[in-house]
Structure 1
Amino acid sequence: MGRLARFLIYMIRLLFLQNMVISVEILSKSKLEKCEKRTDSNDELNCTTKIVINMAVPSGSSGGEAFVVAEIVEVEENSTNNMQTLRVPPDVPFKPQEFFVKTRKCQPDAGANVVKICERLRDEDGHIIEHTRPICCPCGPRRRAPSSCGNIFDKLIKGKANTAHCLRFPGDWFHVFGIGQQSIGFSVRIEMKTGNKVSEVIVGPENRTATSKDNFLKVNLIGDFVGYTSIPTFEDFYLVIPRQGSPGQPNDLGRNLSMWMLLERVRFTLDGVECNKIGVSYDAFNGQPNFCSSPFWSCLHNQLWNFWEADQNRIKRGQVPLYGVQGKYERINEHPDAGSHSFSIGVTEVLNTNLLIELRADDIDFVFQRSPGKIMSVTVPTFEALTQFGVATITAKNTGEVEASYSLTFDCSKGVAHMEEQFFIMKPKEISARSFKVYPTTDQAARYVCSAILKDSEFSEVDRAECQFSTTATVFENGSQREMLGLFRLQLPHTVYLYELGSTFRFTFSYISHRACVAMAFTSERLVRSSL
């Protein structure tokens, strides 16, 4: 058969050679004799023995290996030969505000001595800005701003009482970006070791084929397999960021990520003529029908500050924001090659890349390492049902002496959506924490039982831990969050009994957190019971 060569294959999927490896799957392996015929070879063939390996290389589930990168563009219209910005100015106010002044003898052209802040605005050249005149409403208890009309003598001496109303933008402004074409950014490093010799190549979406310098190793990146969860897309969203300096195109997007938001395009009015949309203008506000009989602040709902405050309320309740990018996505704009006008986020979904590897060798063995492991803890803080999801954190440890791959599942009782199995690698004695998003299917308070299962590189179960957690009922009305119930109300010290094959073992815990599940390592035949 010829000389047998053994190779230890290290497959590392990284972004710019960072973070750790995880489990690699060999899809197929074949041995062939590859012959080359050149134009000047006179029918002579140059043949070499090749090993061809087709494998799937997954990214880590921690979100540290891949990015979604998208260019951001000005929100503008290309209906003419020249690019024209639809909005003048192109930025939108964070919090448009309606002001009113109780006055007498209100007129649209009245000066500041009569209507004060609602006096007509002027531009830098002194020209009056259109639609900034005050709207005058009569006095009365059922008007836009209820006010007293006074007595007949006040009317005769001082003039008829009324209110002047106007729209002003006293706060911050935000720039609006459309999300352009997006792409996935990552790289895969393949390192082959034969004795003291190392062959290495790096491939990625921008460089799909590569050959090592010694011609020993050739790699072709075929593509990515479709995952169970979709990577987010932003074609229907606008990205809004705080304006840096003067209006218009910013040179720097800044790092105030807590104020960055992604909002659906339908929430915006680019020409400013629609009420209750982001970007509302003087024209829309002053042009409201039945202005004086409409409620105060009509036309100014669903603005940026409304969505930002809604997110802050969710964050205070321990929920994930709906609109803000910080807290919803990971590693925002940390891609080193994204550019000054790009938007990037870390990919948390597992991406499986299909690689075709060709080796110059007589034969090859795929060497993998196997090591025992143990589940150290499982925690699931109480959360409100149907508030998007809760987070289960499982801490596992490689108790062996070699680096090896593992898989982890988190299987819950009826009423919780299934969660995708996670694959990862741990070094000897390393402790790794993995997170699962828990989605209950009911809005009622409930208690659930889940099992965390740790498997080794041969997919054999090495440890299992059972956990219980609770959800509180969904609060549909506005108001403060109800007090969370602890998962375990245990008197300290508290005794937990472990029953195994008829024998009883007693463990005493000096402290157990009331906000966390209790997890113990045990085999499939064991049960953990607590005496309350």
Structure 2
Amino acid sequence: MKPLIFITLIFTHQIVNIACVQILSKSKLEKCEKVSGNINDPLNCTKKIVIDLAVPSESNGEEATIVAEVAEVKENASSNPRALRMPPQITIKKSAAYAQYELTYVRDVAYRPEEYAFMTRKCSYWGDPSVVGPCERLFYDNGEMIPHTQPMCCPCGPDHRVPTSCGNIFNQIKKGKANTAHCLRFPGDWYHVFGIGRRSTGFNIRISVNSGGKTSDVVIGPNNRTATSLDNFLRANLIGDYTGYINVPSFEEFFLVIPRQGAPGQPKDLGRDFIKWMLLERVRFTLDGRDCDKIGVGYQAYLEQPSFCYVPFKSCIHNQLWNFWESDKYRIDRNQDPLYVVQGRFPRINEHPNAGRLSFSIGITEAVNSNLMLELAADDIEFVYQRSSGKIISIIVPTFEALTQFGTAVIKANNTGQVEASYSMTFDCIGGVTPMEEQCFIMKPNEVTSRFFRLFLASDQAANYACIAILKDSDYHEVDRAECQFATRATILNTGTQLPFNPPKEVVKKGFFATIEGWWHSFWDGMVDFITGKTCRVKCSSFFDIDCHLRHMCMSWMVLFGLFLVIFPTVATLVWLLHEYGVFDPIYDWWQDHFWDDEQRIQHIKKISLHGLHMKKPTHHTDGQHKRRKHTHSEHHVKKNERKHGRSKVASKVQHPLYVKKGDHVVNERRQKKERDDNTRKHLHSKGKG
């Protein structure tokens, strides 16, 4: 081997997303071939430029691009570099990485199981819809009854599964005691359930080299790690990734549920409604339908609940698909990340290249470097390697059941040459089979080895498939190929104990007496509701919601509202009567003593006196008692004022004669009485001194 030479790479920045590149090794090598056959044949030597690169990926899901140019080379560190007359330009584009998961169809489950309760008086396991309503037994298409679909009968009462009234004694005597029929049904939407297997990471690296006006292109990836351009100028080898992916989730303990696409069973297409795809733990499911409060619950688990008639309504059907979806919808509406819904948790769902109709993949956000080795044809390279012929002996693919199992292809190859050499093998099938990675191995002369490829299908139908195996030598050239065909059996569907349910049509009662009975029940229920006010309490928000109470007339509200309206005039009348009988006179006296002056008191006395002289005989007093009470009340005010103010008050009255009219005998009488009282007090006072 000749000494290594240095290769200078000049990077251009003509593309927006340019990633950094690291040149791990570079050399001028002489590459010589020794073809198996004649030992005396001379070596066929060619010269190559070998470049080992570290190609990163973008973390944001975009394509990473590298543009480089081999500008000059030199034989060793001491020699001067020599520029290439036509330097080759290298363009490398690495797509976003993704993780693809294998899917295995499990079964279909109901989105929202429902429990029905039907009020009846003749509940029985064999009742028709007129007796048990939607809880009538269900039957297969061949007329056989579906097990555990009969109704469960519970008595009436406030402490049972559905609190009900047993009715009055007359209905119990006439029709029997009331009871309820309970059953589990599966109306509405259904979902497919898939088991999630191992994952595989994928990406594509497209390499393009332009040299001397010619362009050489190859595309490699994890499923095809080696490739040679058509003109043999470019050879690429994807050695691997330097570090594994750390944050790629594993879903082997989860089930993927998606809305049913068309008919029951294995769908032909998963659809694109990712907002309804959910990943749920396997422990939340029951595959045989015998566990309550799990997805996939069946009729048997529902009917075999302990103390059936005494546990709450809709027990045994909690933690269903609709509960998890509604929970995540609430989180999404609040701008929070979902816990179960796929969309929003993972980026780039099913956006990988060549995504099939039954594939599931998510984008990888980690930036991982891939080790890429390129070989470019050159006149100053020397490299020796072993090359030998080979042959594919046989391909065996046993028949297996589609989707529920995976097949295995066993391919035997033989080194027909006389030297130990490296080989690679690809196994590709036409349509409906997941792509498989290329395998590399070494065989000694005349050695026979077996290579195993796992086959994962995308359909549940029995079909025939055609595949081709290609054996490549160490120069990545095809040395042999072989074709084969294999068959699969159809998937045996088993949806467990859950079956679709369509509620029966409502039974309409006919006949004259039945119509009269219906009218009577409506009238009776209306009267009971009017008296008890049940509708008003349920539908009306408050006592003063007049509009609601007018639409739902109730006797209790009418009585209470009438009392509410009557209380105001009643209180006003009572206060007026108390005023007329002088109950509030002490309050009036206290107010006048503390807040009235002499002028206001004189005016008040004057007003009362005039009222007593000129007012006609009132119609509401017949005995004159009220007049005397008012007169006494006026005198009381006068005497009280005199005692309080003494002579100054008398003087005040004398100084304001204009407030006392002539002929006002009431005022004169009081004045005379006052003068007599004053004289009496003076006489007693002088007598006491003597």
Classify the TM-score, shorter chain: 0.5 to 0.7
Amino acid at match of 1:273: R
Matched, 1:25 2:22: yes
Question: Where does residue 385 of structure 1 map in the other structure?
Answer: none
The residue that corresponds to 1:154 in the other structure is 171
Q: Which runs of 5+ in 2 are unaligned?
A: 63-95, 382-690
Alpha carbons of structure 1 residues 231 and 274: separation in structure 2 relative to 1, 3 Å: same
Which residue is equivalent to 2:292? 275
Structure 1's 226 and 138: CA in aligned 2 closer, same or farther, altered over 3 A? Answer: farther
Structure 2 counterpart of 1:447: none
Show the counterpart of 1:433: none
Partner residue of 2:55 out of 29, 54, 57? 57
Take 2:350 and 2:338, find their aligned partners in 1: how far apart are those partners? 18
The residue correspondences of 1:167-316 to structure 2 (distance < 5 A) are: 167-194=184-211, 196-227=213-244, 229-316=246-333
Give the CA deviation at 1:20.
Answer: 4.7
Q: 1:109/1:2 Cα in 2 relative to 1: closer, same or farther (>3 Å)?
A: closer
The residue matched to 1:91 in structure 2 has which SS? Answer: strand
How large is the Cα RMSD of the aligned pairs? 3.1
Cα deviation for residue 273 of structure 1 reads 0.9
Q: 1:486-525 residue pairs with structure 2 within 5 A?
A: none
Question: Which residues in structure 2 correspond to 1:96-115 (within 5 Å)?
Answer: 96-115=113-132
Give the corresponding residue for 1:70: 101
The one-letter amino acid of 2:287's match is: L
Q: Note if contact 1:112-1:118 (Cα within 8 Å) is conserved in structure 2.
A: yes
- Aligned to 1:311, what secondary structure does the other structure show? helix
Q: Which has the higher strand share?
A: 1
Per-residue deviation, residues 280-316 of structure 1 (Å, max 9, x unmatched): 1111111111111111111111111011111101111
8 A contact 2:111–2:188 mirrored in 1: yes
Could you tell me which residue of structure 1 aligns to residue 162 of structure 2? 145
Give the CA deviation at 1:349. 2.4
Aligned counterparts of 1:256 and 1:290: Cα–Cα separation in 2: 41
> What's the offset of the Cα at 1:198?
3.5
AA matched with 2:133:
K
- Structure-2 separation of matches of 1:44 and 1:344: 51
Q: Deviations 1:503-526 (Å, cap 9, x if unpaired)?
A: xxxxxxxxxxxxxxxxxxxxxxxx
Q: Matches of 2:127 and 2:227 in 1, distance apart?
A: 75
Matches within 5 A, 1:29-40: 29-38=26-35
Aligned-partner Cα distance in 2 for 1:147–1:11: 80
Distance 1:59 1:71 in 2: 24
> Post-superposition shift, 1:208?
0.8
- Residue 448 of structure 1: aligned partner: none
Q: Deviations over 1:146-194 (max 9, x none)?
A: 1222343332223112221111111101111222443222211223344
1:302 counterpart letter in structure 2: N
Contact map agreement 1:175 1:240 (CA 8 A) in 2: yes
1:315-394 aligned within 5 A: 315-361=332-378
Distance 1:188-1:212 versus aligned 2 partners, 3 A rule:
same
Partner secondary structure for residue 127 of structure 2: coil
Contact 2:292–2:301 (8 Å) recurs in 1: yes
Alignment-mate amino acid for residue 183 of structure 2: C
User: 1:272, 1:283 within 8 Å by CA — same for their partners in 2?
Assistant: yes
Question: Residue 305 of structure 2: SS of its match in structure 1?
Answer: coil
Q: Which one is further off, 257-266 or 64-73?
A: 64-73
> 2: CA distance between counterparts of 1:327 and 1:2?
52
Which structure ranks higher in relative contact order (CA pairs < 8 Å, sequence separation ≥ 6)?
A: 1
Provide the TM-score with structure 2 as the length reference. Answer: 0.46
Partner residue in 2 for 1:463: none
The answer (yes or no) to whether the contact 1:5–1:362 under 8 Å persists in 2 is no
User: What is the identity, as a one-letter code, of the residue corresponding to 2:302?
Assistant: F
Letter in 2 for 1:138: P
Relative to structure 2, which stretch is displaced further, 288-297 or 183-192? 183-192
SS of corresponding position for 2:115 = strand
Q: Tell me how far apart the structure 1 counterparts of residues 363 and 247 of structure 2 sit (CA, whole Å).
A: 13
Over 3 Å counting, the alpha-carbon distance change for 1:298 and 1:41 in structure 2 is same
Offset at 1:272? Answer: 0.8
Separation in 2 of the partners of 1:114 and 1:37? 91
For residues 257 and 287 of structure 1, what CA distance do their matches in structure 2 show?
A: 37
CA distance in 1, matches of 2:351, 2:207: 24
Write the distance in 1 (CA, Å) between the matches of 2:7 and 2:259.
Answer: 60
Q: How far is 1:11 from its partner?
A: 12
Q: TM-score, normalised by structure 1?
A: 0.59
Alignment of 1:423-462 (within 5 A): none
| 2-structure distance, mates of 1:346, 1:277 | 31
Secondary structure of the residue that 1:133 maps to in structure 2? coil
d(CA) in 2 for partners of 1:198 and 1:221? 20
Structure 1 or 2: more helix by fraction? 2
Residue matched to 1:472? none
Compared CA separation, residues 217 and 6, structure 1 to 2 (3 A):
farther
Gap regions ≥5 residues in structure 1: 13-17, 76-89, 365-532
What per-residue deviation string (whole Å, max 9, x for no partner) do you get for residues 82-123 of structure 1? Answer: xxxxxxxx4110000111122223222222122211122223
CA pair 147-363 structure 1, distance change in 2 beyond 3 A: farther
Counterpart position of 1:474: none
Amino acid at match of 2:22: E
**Paired letter, 1:95:** R
- SS of structure 2 residue aligned to 1:333: coil
- 3-state DSSP class of the match of 1:53? strand
Tell me how far 1:216 sits from its aligned partner: 3.3
Query: How has the CA–CA distance of structure 1 residues 216 and 115 changed in structure 2, closer, same or farther, with 3 Å as cutoff?
Result: same
Q: 1:361, 1:292 → 2: CA distance?
A: 88
Contact 2:6 2:27 in 1 (8 A): no
CA distance in structure 2 between the aligned counterparts of 1:120 and 1:66, rounded to whole angstroms: 53
Measured in 1, the distance between the counterparts of 2:298 and 2:197 equals 26
Q: Distance in 1 between matches of 2:366 and 2:7?
A: 36
For 1:247-269, what per-residue CA distance to the aligned partner results, in whole angstroms no more than 9, with x for missing partners?
12222222222211121211111
Q: Distance in 1 between matches of 2:117 and 2:16?
A: 58
Q: In percent, how many aligned pairs have the same letter? A: 60
Q: Do the aligned residues in 1 keep the contact of 2:291 with 2:297 (CA within 8 Å)?
A: yes
CA contact (8 A) 1:7 1:194 kept: no
Quickly say closer, same or farther: Cα 1:265–1:2, change in 2 above 3 A: closer
Q: Is the 8 A contact 1:320 1:328 kept in 2?
A: yes
